[in-house]
A = this chain, B = another copy of it.
Amino acid sequence: MTDHHVIFMPSGKRGRFETGTPVLTAARQLGVDLESVCGGRGICSKCQVQPGHGDFPKLGVTVRDDALSAFNAVEQRYDDKRGLKPGRRLGCQATVQGDVVIDVPAESQLHKQVVRKAASGVPITMDPATRLHFVTVEEPDMDAPSGDLERLKHALSAQWDLTGLDMALPLLRDLQPTLRKGKWEVTVAVNHDENRITALYPGLREAPLLGLAIDLGSTTIAAHLCDLSTGAVRASGGVMNPQIRFGEDLMSRVSYAMMNPGGDLEMTRAVRDALETLAVDLAADAGIVANDIVEVVIVCNPVMHHILLGVDPVELGQSPFALATSDALRIAASEIGLTSLSAGARVYILPCIAGHVGADAAAVALAEAPDQADALTLIVDVGTNAEIILGNRDRLLACSSPTGPAFEGAQISAGQRAAPGAIERVEIDAATKEPRFRVIGCELWSDHPDFAAATRATGITGICGSGIIEAVAEMRMAGIVDAKGLIGSPAQVGTSRCELVGRTHSYLLWEDGNRRIHVTQGDIRAIQLAKSALYAGARLLMDEAGVDTLDKVTLAGAFGAHISPKHAMVLGMIPDAALISVTSAGNAAGHGARMALCNRAARAHIETLVRRIEKVETAIAPRFQEHFVAANAIPHATAPFPHLMSEVTLPDVSWNTASEGRRRRR
């Protein structure tokens, strides 16, 4: 008998192979997911496998101890130099000698699955565009002259069956020294999404390559630096979008570009510089050099998209809101000023859906996959510009809504971005009207005796987005704020924490010596505007879809994970739904970016999906204005919110005093 049963686990793929077949060869023939960078030369160790022993009755085989060939010289040398774990073999060296069950450990699988921490959304299966290929290149021959690049391409064709590869000019500069340093052995990073050589390393490169997934928001820029082999996040971070100095929201930036010749390019430079700095800083955090970053995925709204690309966003500020380009983009990192990355680094930008619904919305759709669900899902990506998606596998609608930066702590008197010291959770006792809160960086509530000591280092510096949402909702539940959003007087509310500041009342959340943190009437108004825009957008999509109830609501956004569903609904940020069906997805746009970074198929999927998404333009819909006005009340002027009311009781108070009435009439 010259052939044997070979069964790979965990896939269960099986076949019959002749004596002497290398395990890697068998795996490839069966389509088993087994990694190899060196192409079977026994040097990269990526193809490690673990043979089983003894009886496997369910599989119908018995594995003898000599089912694989004995350790050969290559394996021995590798084991001596680097050490193989007990029982492990190199798949390219060990050959089949009998029936065998072979376990492919997770780290040897090319298509590893990376589980997402957030409650919802889809896990990532690793299938990055960029992969490493080790090749031996023919040395130059004076009698048969050809370029080093042509011989490198020949090697990639002969040894990896890769043909028609492009390579950018800046890499050509590195080619000759790299080939010589590696003694004609090099590891080539190939971006398979673009069929392009993107980096070259002398000899065998063992360190993983890195990719950067960026969520470029109007107010904040968040990024994850990911290992392109395992999908692991090596560093995460964020910075404020420096364009804020040109305008807080999108339309004020478009106006800046319209009013100031060259103003759009100023903003382009600012955001490109910020991305470059963020990349370098994250690389430093991860202990690598930015030069190891070979791929970037960016998601952003259309205005950020155009400004980043160096396109004047003026058309996005006026009907019909025409995008310069809507398709996904594949460009050189250097084209958008990311010059510290690998010389051949590429950028993938997700497609835009419409003039006001951008690549960030596409990324949210990718991350939350409503198109794969039966449940009618509303996804709200909360930010300075909110992306809203409604639908299920039958139909998908999307719009964006200009909420402004209040949810991110801007335009709030004590507002700040989410950082240690920021108030992020608030509770107000309905009887005493006394608050307690928690700050970022401390697990204790403010009424705990150790709280002062525990927060001494960070201090209590302000209120972040989730904090202001909870504060306003709690004020409504405690009867401090009425349905119209008015803060009552000390007499009306019954607490001295309601202080008259100027002509309106503010609620004192915290004071300590010289610092007092209030929720002011202006803060409430800012939150009302923001939440009305969000609600109106969601309702508009429900109108378009012809539905009145939702199966599922997902709160996403840079701080989406931190928003309490109950408080969001008390505020009326989202239409009424069973509280249990409202979940937080965290930064879904950022997760979508990471999916597109780690999985090529995700790119193809979103590029197809965006064509199916029906776009709804809020800026010109009369119904949007109606919904917006009705949504100004907390939670809503007319909608009954039955699910919410079954869980909370909202005091029926009204502080619409003569004074307030007079001011309105002026």
Contacts and interface: CB of A to CB of B under 8 A. Distances in A.
Interface of A: 139-143, 145-150, 169-170, 172-173, 175-177, 309-312, 314-315, 319-327, 331, 335-336, 352-355, 615, 617, 620
Given A353-B145, A355-B145, A615-B145, A173 B323 contact: no
A484 to B, nearest CB: 34
Contacts of A620: 142
20 contacts: A139-B320, A140-B320, A141-B320, A142-B355, A145-B326, A146-B323, A147-B322, A147-B324, A147-B325, A147-B352, A148-B315, A150-B327, A169-B309, A169-B336, A172-B309, A172-B311, A172-B325, A173-B324, A176-B312, A176-B314
A145 B610 CA distance: 11
Contacts of A322: 140, 145, 147-148, 176
Contacts of A175: 311, 324-325
B309 A150 contact: no
A146 B613 CA distance: 12
Contacts of A310: 169-170, 172-173
Contacts of A149: 324-327
Most chain-B Cβ atoms within 10 A of its Cβ — which of A323, A354, A355?
A323
Contacts of A320: 139-142, 145
A142 B323 contact: no
A145 B169 CA distance: 36
Contacts of A176: 311-312, 314-315, 322, 324
A319 to B, nearest CB: 7
A233 B327 CA distance: 40
A309 B150 CA distance: 16
A27 B474 CA distance: 79
This chain: how many copies in the complex?
A: 2
Nearest to A265: B173
Nearest to A315: B176
Contacts of A321: 140, 142, 145
A618 to B, nearest CB: 11
A617 B311 contact: no
Most chain-B Cβ atoms within 10 A of its Cβ — which of A175, A325, A617?
A325
B323 A148 contact: yes
Nearest to A144: B615
Nearest to A153: B327
A617 B146 CA distance: 13
A176 B257 CA distance: 15
A63 to B, nearest CB: 51
A140 B169 CA distance: 36
Nearest to A146: B326
A533 B15 CA distance: 67
Nearest to A268: B173
Nearest to A149: B325
A173 B312 contact: yes
Most chain-B Cβ atoms within 10 A of its Cβ — which of A150, A319, A324, A354?
A324
A146 B141 CA distance: 52
A274 to B, nearest CB: 19
A296 to B, nearest CB: 15
Given A149-B325, A173-B324, A177-B312, 4 more contacts: A142-B355, A145-B323, A169-B335, A173-B310
A147 B617 contact: no
Contacts of A312: 173, 176-177
A329 to B, nearest CB: 8
Contacts of A148: 315, 322-325
A660 to B, nearest CB: 39
A176 B353 CA distance: 18
Contacts of A326: 145-147, 149-150
Given A169-B331, A173-B311, A323 B147 contact: yes
Nearest to A313: B176
A331 B322 CA distance: 30
Nearest to A331: B169
A462 B335 CA distance: 48
Contacts of A140: 320-322, 355
A334 B215 CA distance: 29
A160 to B, nearest CB: 20
Nearest to A145: B354
A373 to B, nearest CB: 25
Contacts of A355: 140, 142, 145
Contacts of A141: 320
Contacts of A615: 145
Contacts of A177: 312
A615 B140 CA distance: 14
